[in-house]
């Protein structure tokens, strides 16, 4: 060392990262929520270098804005709250029509098909009326029954039960008991959300009807657009290994894609 050189610094610590302000911190929490459906208070506090009380206040604020749901020790994504079925019919029309065109390829004459309520399943029913023949269709959805009845070779059986005007469907104990009397080749069902925990619907009444249809079917086909991936909804009615096929407009990736592969679910991408 040259005698003129300054002595090396002693006990220097790396510079401390500046703490984020409240708005930036909450943006970071929401970004983390998009990457992981469940967050823990302790992990967030360590990552953001703040106290657990600060994180709890942040989560409270975010819950008040409807952006997270607080849990014991952390937070999860907010549950899906879907618009009415009438409003949903006007959304993702091209994607749903492509999904419907793909789905009817798996239906054979003389089969018994159970179809759940929903916008995507109504698109499937409309395509079935145009392309299929000699089927028996069991449904609890008035929109499905109406569009499919245009085909005189398809026999429509309507489930009894309580009427949900917002969804245009029947539900309840009578509906589920009625379904127990039938053997079904395929159940074609929609979802409000799909996570690694399973398939869920925003309406509990619909969820239990879907489960009953699935349990009576030799094959369950889920029809869904990609915006339902990684979305939590109120009532989980099936686990991923319970289904046999998923028809979508874009392939699921990440944890959901891996879970579907492990369960050997056939993923059919519309337009591919």
CATH, residue 47:
1.10.10.10
Task: Please check whether residue 138 is in contact with residue 155, taking contact to mean a CB–CB distance below 8 angstroms.
Answer: no
Across the range 163-173, mean pLDDT stands at 93
Residue ending a domain, among 41, 76, 111, is 76
Assigned domain for 7 exists: no
Assigned domain for 2 exists: no
186 with 254, same domain: the answer is yes
Tokens of 168: 């245009």
Task: Please check whether residue 237 is in contact with residue 212, taking contact to mean a CB–CB distance below 8 angstroms.
Answer: no
- For residue 194, which of 243, 154, 150 has the smallest C-alpha distance? 243
Overall residue count recorded for the chain in this entry:
272
The listed range with the strongest mean pLDDT (16-20, 27-31, 231-235, 242-246) is 242-246
32 with 97, same domain: the answer is no
Residue ending a domain, among 76, 99, 117, is 76
What pTM value is reported for the model? 0.72
Assigned domain for 17 exists: no
Q: Residue 80: CB partners within 8 Å, gap ≥ 6?
A: 192, 193, 200, 202, 228, 231, 232, 233, 234
Assigned domain for 8 exists: no
pLDDT band at 271 (very low <50, low <70, confident <90, very high): confident
Residue 38 has pLDDT above 80, yes or no: no
């Amino acid at each position: 060392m040259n005698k003129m050189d300054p002595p090396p610094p002693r006990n220097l610590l790396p510079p401390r990262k500046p703490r984020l302000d409240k708005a930036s911190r909450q943006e970071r929490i929401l970004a983390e929520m998009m990457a992981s459906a469940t967050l823990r208070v302790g992990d967030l506090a360590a990552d953001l270098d703040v106290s657990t009380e600060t994180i709890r206040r942040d989560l409270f604020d975010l819950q008040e804005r409807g952006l997270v749901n607080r849990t014991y020790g952390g937070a999860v994504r907010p549950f899906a709250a879907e618009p009415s079925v009438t409003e949903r019919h006007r959304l993702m029309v091209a994607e749903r029509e492509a999904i419907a065109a793909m789905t009817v390829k798996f239906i054979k004459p003389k089969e018994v098909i159970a179809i759940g309520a929903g916008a995507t399943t109504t698109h499937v029913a409309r395509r079935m009326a145009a392309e299929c023949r000699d089927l028996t269709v069991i449904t609890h959805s008035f929109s499905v029954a109406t569009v499919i009845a245009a085909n005189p070779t398809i026999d429509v059986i309507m489930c009894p039960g309580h009427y949900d005007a917002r969804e245009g469907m029947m539900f309840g104990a009578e509906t589920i008991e009625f379904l127990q009397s039938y053997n079904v080749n395929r159940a074609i069902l929609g979802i409000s959300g799909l996570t690694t925990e399973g398939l869920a619907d925003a309406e509990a009444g619909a969820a239990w009807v879907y489960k009953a249809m699935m349990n009576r079917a030799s094959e369950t086909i889920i029809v869904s657009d990609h915006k339902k991936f990684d979305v939590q909804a109120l009532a989980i009615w099936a686990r991923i290994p319970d289904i046999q096929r998923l028809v979508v407009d874009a392939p699921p990736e990440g944890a959901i894609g891996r879970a579907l592969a492990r369960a050997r679910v056939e993923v059919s991408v519309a337009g591919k």
